[in-house]
Structure 1
Amino acid sequence: MKNTYVSNRRYVHRLLSKTAVSEEVLIVTSYDYFLQKRDLSLLLRKYKEIILIPHSDDDDYLLNHTVRPLLDKFEKVHLVTNPVYDKRNRVIYELVVRKNKSIRITPVYDFCEKHLKKVYIPDDITEINPNLLTVPVFGRRVRYPKKIIDVSISIILFLFTFPLWILSYFRIKFQSPGPVFYYQERVGMRNKLFNCIKFRSMRLDAEQNGASFSKKNDSRIFPYGSFMRLTRIDELPQIINIFRRDLSLIGPRPERPVFTETFDETIPYYNFRHNIKPGITGYAQVMYSYGAGVFDARHKLMYDLYYIKNWSLYLELKIILMTAVVILGKKGR
């Protein structure tokens, strides 16, 4: 599918699709903060055109002189609203009604969960998502099947990958003398700290200047360490953490305390992810490409909270299958 991305007077960004099956236009008044490339690709299969409206100091001019002409092309409008932009929502609604066109209105919170399978996390820490007034803690109905999956798959995975443990031991020793296993303090369920076990993939002096996120083409990673990260072999020792009940097979990625302290202060609802056990893999890890920093942490949280709110056996098995695809395709971080 070939899409064209153009800018109209530097205000309204339009995404066009020649292969869309609907003549409906999607208008998003909260701009494209929550929309990623994967989301846009998915939406362009359904909508003829997508209009993303950024912040403007003059909404009246923006909407009347830039959005209004675009509405003439469509009979149906799907407006994704955010209360923060209530004025522009009303202006668009009046424009559509005045032209005798049909309109359906969906709050951005509901739109994200229904159409994008993730939970909307506001960019502003003072903004409230009414769908996140409470986030469930896994009860017995969820904990028991997850425990059966965790233990059974972990045993099978350990037996199946044992030759890789032996191979990794000698390759690490050969390329970077020192400890084979790397123990790092991470934040678990209810903010309890635990030591996460991994195969060491970086040099011993990797953090001599303090904690930092790893990145693509990280010079601190030795060659076999890079291969382990691509194939996620470095994660295998976390099976031990599952047996210790620190981790689950599926869940939010366990982060370091130094980072979670910052995220708790800057990202709304971040602490909700600690309602459940973190996981070796998870919904955010297979749905969102690797990234570091507050921006990426906020977007990954959207998927983590969707997983917690909408857990099902089907979703659990789907994540396991998607993880296998990532590993076999060497698409790890």
Structure 2
Amino acid sequence: MSHFTLPTSVISAPSRRVIHRLRKGNRTGKGLLLITGYDYFLTKRDYKRLLPQYEEVILVPRHTDDEYLLNVILYPILSKYALIHLVANPEYDQQHHQVYQFMVKQSKMIRVSTITDFCEQMLGKVYIAQNAHERTFTNDLPVFRPGIRVLKKGMDVLASIFFLFFTSPFWVWCALRIKQQSPGPVFYRQARVGRQDQEFYCVKFRSMRLDAEVAGAAFSSKKDRRTFPFGAFMRKIRLDELPQFLNVLKGEMSLVGPRPERKVFTTSFENQIPHYQTRHQVKPGITGYAQICYPYGAGVKDARHKLMYDLYYIKHWSIRLEAYILWRTVITVITKQGC
């Protein structure tokens, strides 16, 4: 499900068994959003985008009892709304047909969207089904055209030279502080998966203790106990990422793109998440759309959420989107909101 903890004040007591229900504090007359066949795709960020647009949001999980939904949940509240936005998830059930007919009988104005269109148009991500056997789009997403690749390469080279020159004092400072707090190498080289599944060595300032992975590979987290104090500080303002500009100059990475993962994780994700391989059709990035939209996460569920944003970036790439991601990254660094 989502990563958003719903206050009990926005969930009606009778519906807690099967249906999530979010209400705004004040009536706005903007209508009701009803999502059938709901599985897991809304996040805290999504709720913040939706609640200003709708007075109420009802999420109907898969296999919800029709009688309960229609007569107990919907019928008592329909009189409050002139407009209903019904989002159908045909991957899982046909319940939306019954809901639609029910609302027609109540003479309601209904707007119907598929879950795929809803995610792309309103939430800025490409919907990926929870079930690994489901395919939410039939054709592969378009990869970057040659013109886009040349443009991004030029931006990457110029920006890398600029940042390497003007951040050189930070390199000296980071090296000294790392040596003071954690004996061992200043840099950390780790094999990551790049474009076309080619592995490369990603370079970062070392932020974790030397014994950080004695128990095996593990995801980073917001409050990672494996870091030493200055290492945690570097992560928070992304100083540990500075050496990756060397990877960008070598052509292994880009300024913006899906974050590179380790082979041990990508192999697992490709077997469990539909379309995961698509993210490897472009160069990985120092920052990315998923990084500014989604926090640190560990496991398949978080990887699937991040993939939705990565695929949106690939499908809808533009200079404006590229600039927006870079701007949001700068704001994150300045305000120390790194995860």
Q: Secondary structure at the match of 1:29?
A: strand
Amino acid across the alignment from 2:163: L
Q: Do 1:20 and 1:47's aligned partners in 2 also have CA atoms closer than 8 Å?
A: no
Q: Secondary structure at the match of 2:77?
A: helix
Looking at structure 2, the residues matched to 28 and 181 of structure 1 have their Cα atoms a distance apart, in angstroms, of 48
Greater displacement, 306-315 / 23-32 = 23-32
Instruction: Work out which of the residue numbers 276, 282, 298 in structure 1 matches 2:304.
Output: 298
Q: 1:122 aligns to what?
A: 129
Count of residue pairs brought into register by the alignment: 331
Instruction: Work out which of the residue numbers 318, 322, 325 in structure 1 matches 2:331.
Output: 325
Name the % identity: 51
Q: Do 1:82 and 1:108's aligned partners in 2 also have CA atoms closer than 8 Å?
A: yes
Instruction: Work out which of the residue numbers 8, 11, 17 in structure 2 matches 1:6.
Output: 11
Q: Do 1:22 and 1:46's aligned partners in 2 also have CA atoms closer than 8 Å?
A: no
Q: 1:199 aligns to what?
A: 205
1:1-333 maps to which residues of 2 (within 5 A)? 4-7=9-12, 8-9=14-15, 10-19=17-26, 21-31=28-38, 33-56=40-63, 58-130=65-137, 133-333=139-339
Looking at structure 2, the residues matched to 272 and 100 of structure 1 have their Cα atoms a distance apart, in angstroms, of 44
1:307 Cα shift?
0.2
Q: Do 1:20 and 1:44's aligned partners in 2 also have CA atoms closer than 8 Å?
A: no
Looking at structure 2, the residues matched to 178 and 234 of structure 1 have their Cα atoms a distance apart, in angstroms, of 15
Q: Do 1:251 and 1:282's aligned partners in 2 also have CA atoms closer than 8 Å?
A: yes
Looking at structure 2, the residues matched to 247 and 148 of structure 1 have their Cα atoms a distance apart, in angstroms, of 13
Change in Cα spacing, 1:15 to 1:32, as seen in structure 2 (3 Å) is farther
TM-score (norm 1): 0.95
1:22 Cα shift?
4.1
Q: Do 2:287 and 2:329's aligned partners in 1 also have CA atoms closer than 8 Å?
A: yes
Q: Do 1:56 and 1:62's aligned partners in 2 also have CA atoms closer than 8 Å?
A: no
1:21 Cα shift?
4.4
Greater displacement, 33-42 / 245-254 = 33-42
Amino acid across the alignment from 1:95: F
Amino acid across the alignment from 1:162: S
TM-score (norm 2): 0.94
CA RMSD of superposed structures (Å): 1.6
1:32 Cα shift?
5.7
Amino acid across the alignment from 2:20: H
1:160 Cα shift?
1.4
Q: 2:3 aligns to what?
A: none
CA offset digits 1:230-251 (Å, max 9, x no partner): 0110000000101111000000
Amino acid across the alignment from 1:6: I
Change in Cα spacing, 1:258 to 1:326, as seen in structure 2 (3 Å) is same
Q: Do 2:37 and 2:95's aligned partners in 1 also have CA atoms closer than 8 Å?
A: no
Amino acid across the alignment from 1:35: L
- What 5-or-longer segments of structure 2 have no aligned partner? 1-5
